[in-house]
Amino acid sequence: MKKLYGLLGWPVAHSVSPAMMNAAFAELGIDAVYLAFAVPPADLRAALDGLLALGAGGVNITIPHKLGAYQWAPRHSDEARLAGAVNTLRLRPRSDADDPAAPEVIGHNTDVAGWWTSLRTVLPHAPKRVVILGAGGAARAALAGLALYAQSAEVVLTARNPQKAAETAASFQEYISVSLLPWREREQAVAAADLVVNATPMGMWPHDDVSPIDDETCLHPGQVVQDMVYRPLQTRLLRQAARRGAKRVDGLDMLVRQGAEAFEFWLGVSAPVDVMRQAARASLGL
Ligand code: NAP
């Protein structure tokens, strides 16, 4: 019987995940379908209970449900626990309840490994001085990645809301060194960093002319600049980084890799990453 997978968000109309996941199922001949479900926050628990009862194999979770999914999940992976958010759930269908080999319901966060593996394509060594711009879910995924894979990194977290920045930093103090910097002083820290991560939506369509960096002379060769924004692919920040000779990583690579991580977490087989990338690019009109 065809297996159901999907994405829960509010809204989800513009997601590239259905194209990416359905292309992966087709490539490997897996009898499954991936659908996007627009679920209002008040209905999240009912939707997840319903998908479990229907025997769905797993779901991705996007804004604004990552915390709600964390609270719903009975168990969590280390990545989800560190990030304090769930973007992928593996579901154990009730019909498989007597099968001890059936996967249990577990909340995971594939943004963490997706972020890290995307970064590794241009930064083979662990970063030493990192600046993270923003203090929301994407910043938490990056901090969790550093806590798992680069504990010796010195991290500067800067965000326009100092209280939120302090709360986010506090959740990671036990694992890595995170210092806070006022948002208006961020370019000083960027100049001293070997890795700069934009974890804000600044520069995202339709605000293509916006960048989190005003004075681009703080960017330089020998530095990696990673933008989590993927629409447009070449953000203003990445264009600034190119002019300044810095290495660049776009948000599409992370998007594809977090999807591939979810696919492998559900199915236990290697994801066809290139096919998923092509499908994601086509879905974005690239
Ligand atoms: P979020 O939880 O809403 O956090 C966004 C952060 O950016 C917050 O600190 C927010 O500050 C700050 N911010 C928003 N607008 C700003 C502005 N105009 N100036 C300065 N700071 C601003 O969002 P998120 O989930 O972390 O997502 C952030 C971006 O990453 C989005 O563009 C998202 O699409 C992208 N993302 C990409 C991937 C990928 O796979 N490539 C994965 C996850 C996220 P306040 O708290 O004050 O609003």
Q: Cα separations (Å) of 203 from 6, 206, 210, 213, 240?
A: 28, 8, 5, 10, 12
pLDDT-based confidence at 1, cuts 50/70/90? confident
Centroid of ligand 1 to alpha carbon of 284 (angstroms): 19
* 160 in contact with ligand 1, CB cutoff 6 A: yes
* 44 in contact with ligand 1, CB cutoff 6 A: no
pTM, entire model: 0.94
State the CB neighbour count (10 A cutoff) for residue 104: 11
Q: Residue 75: what pLDDT?
A: 95
Listed range (88-97, 145-154, 212-221) with the worst mean pLDDT: 88-97
φ and ψ at residue 270, rounded to 5 degrees: -65, 135
Mean pLDDT, the chain, integer? 95
Centroid of ligand 1 to alpha carbon of 11 (angstroms): 16
pLDDT-based confidence at 99, cuts 50/70/90? low
* 137 in contact with ligand 1, CB cutoff 6 A: yes
Q: Residue 14: what pLDDT?
A: 87
Q: Residue 13: what pLDDT?
A: 87
φ and ψ at residue 31, rounded to 5 degrees: -85, 80
Interatomic CA distance for residues 168 and 26, integer angstroms: 40
Peptide bond into 11 cis (omega under 30): yes
Q: Residue 100: what pLDDT?
A: 58
Residue 23 reports pLDDT greater than 90: yes
φ and ψ at residue 14, rounded to 5 degrees: -95, 10
Q: Residue 148: what pLDDT?
A: 96
CA of 204, closest atom in ligand 1: 32
| Identity of residue 286 | L
State the CB neighbour count (10 A cutoff) for residue 189: 21
Q: Residue 124: what pLDDT?
A: 85
Q: Residue 97: what pLDDT?
A: 54
Q: Residue 38: what pLDDT?
A: 98
Average pLDDT over residues 220-241: 96
Q: Residue 93: what pLDDT?
A: 57
Q: For a pLDDT cut of 70, what percent of the chain falls above it?
A: 96
State the CB neighbour count (10 A cutoff) for residue 200: 23
Average pLDDT over residues 24-45: 98
Average pLDDT over residues 199-220: 97
Average pLDDT over residues 180-184: 98
Q: Which residue, by CA, sits nearest to atom 40 of ligand 1?
A: 255
